[in-house]
Structures are given as structure tokens and as C-alpha cells.
Structure 1
Amino acid sequence: MITIHCLAYSRAIRLIWLMEDLGQPYDLVRYERTDAFRAPQALRDVHPLGKSPVIEDGDLRLAESASCLRYLTGKFDDDTHAPDPGTAAYAQHEEMLDYVESSFAAACMNVLLPAMKGEDIAENARDTLQMHLSYIAQTLPDHGLLFGEKASLADIQMSYLLANLAATGFLADAPRIETYWNDLQKQDGYIAATKVAGPMAPDL
């Protein structure tokens, strides 16, 4: 059985969402954050970098959200969380799945971290975030999620950062992204995952 090591308010909730969608059993190991909002030492006993998520499947121990999401869909022969392989939409899906952590995350963290600390946010950080939000808005269809009405892996991957941006007010001037985030929260897998593991973002 898959074991998911899940830090509170973390990216690991993405994997729980997918497993709930797949209807597959899993063991959940939860970790609370320290008073400094960091991962506890116990996570370093699971992964040398103290990362979350980490999944275990027999002798395999795997980190990084996109890698874990892809592994789980492969393990359970799931073809419902991405467009058909070989299509242009599939290639675009794979690009967006990797884009979230390779490009979008840095733009988000450059505003989220100072916001959480009550510090001033650099103007160039705000501009960069706006550029990325505009890009995502242009990528989205007029209605629905990235590739239809059902959440794809790319949508699930996007959710964690959008949750934190919404909690800190950074989606107020991005109506298409705000609607997208609201639609993601209506997905059955999201509802089930946050019921099991708690919200993706803390109340600020």
C-alpha cells in the first residue's frame, strides 16, 4: 500500500487528492509544522531534505509532487487525469504540470514569504507574479479547468499555490484565476483530501 508523508499545509495534499480520485487505499502519516512554520525533524528521518510530500511504495521512496503524481497514475493505470497521449493537449498538459514548480512557484514564493512575515513586497516580485497569473489566465479556457471539467494532474499541481495566493489576497485582481481556484475547490478529490488532511493554506 502507498504511504504518503504529509506535512500540514503542504504540497502533499495534492497526492491525497489524486489517491481519493483513484479510489485507492493509502496510509497517511501526518506531521505538524513547528512554531516557525517549518517541517519537523521527523521528516528528515523520511527524506534527507525534510521534504513533503514523500511517498513510499515497498522499497521505493519518492519525493517531488510531479514525480509522485506521475508515478501514481502509472502504478494504477489511470488515464483520466491527462489528455490522450500523443495529442497536442497531452504535450501542453505535461508542460503545465512541470511549469507549476519549475517557474510559477518561485514567482509565488517571492510574494508569499514576505506577506506571511508582514514584510514589504518588492515591486518587481508583484510584477512577476502578475505576469504569471496573466499567462495562466490566457492558458485557461473561458470556463472550466485547464483541460476540461475534471481536474488533470496539472490542475492538481496548481492548486497548492493558488490556495496560498488566495489566502493572502493575491487573486483579488485576477478574476479568471480566482474563478479557476473556486472551481478546483468544488472537485470531489479536493473536498475529500482537505477533509482528510486539512486545508492547503493556513488562515492568515
Structure 2
Amino acid sequence: MITVHHLEKSRSQRVLWLLEELGLDYEIKTYLRDPKTILAPKDLQAVHPLGKSPVITDGDITVAESGAIIEYLIERYDTEGKLRPAAGSPESLAYRYWLHYAEGSLMTPLVLALVFSRLPKQPMPFFVKPVVKGLCSKVFASYIQPQLRTHFRFVESRLAESKWFAGKQFSAADIQMSYPLQAAMARGGMELPKVQDFVTRCEARPAYKRAEKRGGPFALPG
């Protein structure tokens, strides 16, 4: 039996969705974030040394990291190739690229934006607060915001030429890309009509709705 070690308000929602798309039986072990730090509980370290989610166990096998989990589940259980393009096809290269781009490139500026928006709100001596606020504002304006604009122009252009990231057919790459794009839409601040349409189509899928029913709706930490 596959067990998803599911941290609330996290990337592991995508794993539940993938399992529903594949029609696999699984169970969920839910972990709650620390209300003060918003970090995962230490219980997760018993599953994987880094103590982070997503993590799955499949019998004696433990797999961590979203991309690795998706590849493992697809290679082992998607025997009919429903959620991946045929090997050697042009679509298969796009599939692999977007599967890894989501976490390897796109999540970096999104995480930085989250961290630098939170820093000025943390407890600190009153005389330090203006310095931290000014530094965060400068980093956001000079580095983070330009990076976000560059990445989302790139993503928007891809969705302008292709309904799904790997081509005409929905694939696991779309599941992987869903979290950062949902996060971008939830945070707001950018006009991205193609991205918004993509998110809407993803959230309308029956398997997505089933995953929400079992694991809870999409939500950002903090």
C-alpha cells in the first residue's frame, strides 16, 4: 500500500492528485505545521532524515522530492502511458523539462519572495526593523521581482502556444507545474491570463477534486 506522508498546505497535494489520476489505492498520514514557525513537525524525520514533505512509502521503498515521487509513480504504475508522452517523442523532452523546471527554477524566486516578505514581520529590536525592511524591499525590487517577471513571461508564452506543458495532452508535468502556478495566482500581483486558465482547468479535473476531498483544498503556508 502506498502511504503519502502529507503535510498540510504543502506540495504533497500534487502527489494525492497524481495518485487519483492513476486510480491507485493509497492512504494518507497527515502532519500539521507548527503554528508559530510554519515548519513541518519533527515526526516527519522518522520517515525521511530531512523531515520534509512530500514523502511517500510504498512497501519498503521511501521516496522524497516531488519530481522524484512523480517519476517513480509514473514509471512503476502508469503502464499504459496515460500521463506521459511516448519515449523519444518531441513531447517527451518537453515533459521532462517542465517536470524539473517547476522545482528546479520556478520555485526559487517564489520561495525567496515569501521569505523576504515575512522577514520584516518577525520579532526584532525596534531599531533593527527599518534596516531589515529597507534591505528586504531593495532585494525584492532589484532581484526577486525581475526574476518573477522573467519566469512568468516564459511560462505564459508556453501556455500561449500549447494547451498543456508537454503538448496537447495532459501529463504529470502539468501536475508538477500546478503548485507554483497556483501559488502565483493566490499571491496575486501579476496579470497572467494563460496561467489563470491553466490553473482553472487543473482544478476542474475530477481527479483533482477527489484529491482535495481527501487531503484538503489548496492552501499556502503562513
> Is the shorter-chain TM-score for this pair beyond 0.5, marking a shared fold?
yes
Pair member with larger Rg = 2
Matched with 2:154 is 135
Residue-pair matches, total: 203
Amino acid at match of 1:43: L
User: Secondary structure of the residue that 2:195 maps to in structure 1?
Assistant: helix
Q: Which structure 2 residues correspond to residues 28-107 of structure 1 after superposition, within 5 A?
A: 28-35=28-35, 36-76=37-77, 77-107=79-109
Alpha carbons of structure 1 residues 190 and 114: separation in structure 2 relative to 1, 3 Å: farther
Aligned alpha-carbon RMSD (Å): 2.0
Matched with 1:126 is 145
Which blocks of at least 5 consecutive residues in structure 2 are unaligned?
A: 122-132
Matched with 2:197 is 179
Matched with 2:126 is none
Shift of 1:197: 0.8
Per-residue Cα deviation, 1:161-198 (whole angstroms, up to 9, x for no partner): 1222222114x422221221112111222211112111
Shift of 1:51: 1.4
Matched with 1:16 is 16
Preserved contact between residue 43 and residue 50 of structure 1 (Cα < 8 Å): yes
Alpha carbons of structure 1 residues 173 and 7: separation in structure 2 relative to 1, 3 Å: same
Amino acid at match of 1:87: S
Per-residue Cα deviation, 1:100-137 (whole angstroms, up to 9, x for no partner): 11111102112233345667551120110110011111
User: What fraction of aligned residue pairs are identical, expressed as a percent?
Assistant: 33
Matched with 1:5 is 5
Are 1:113 and 2:132 an aligned pair? no
**Structure number with higher helix proportion:** 2
Alpha carbons of structure 1 residues 91 and 203: separation in structure 2 relative to 1, 3 Å: closer
Matched with 1:196 is 214
Alpha carbons of structure 1 residues 190 and 149: separation in structure 2 relative to 1, 3 Å: farther
- What CA distance in whole angstroms lies between the structure 1 residues aligned with 2:196 and 2:22? 26
Shift of 1:154: 1.1
Which blocks of at least 5 consecutive residues in structure 1 are unaligned?
A: none
- Match for residue 152 of structure 1 among 171, 185, 204: 171
Preserved contact between residue 112 and residue 168 of structure 1 (Cα < 8 Å): no
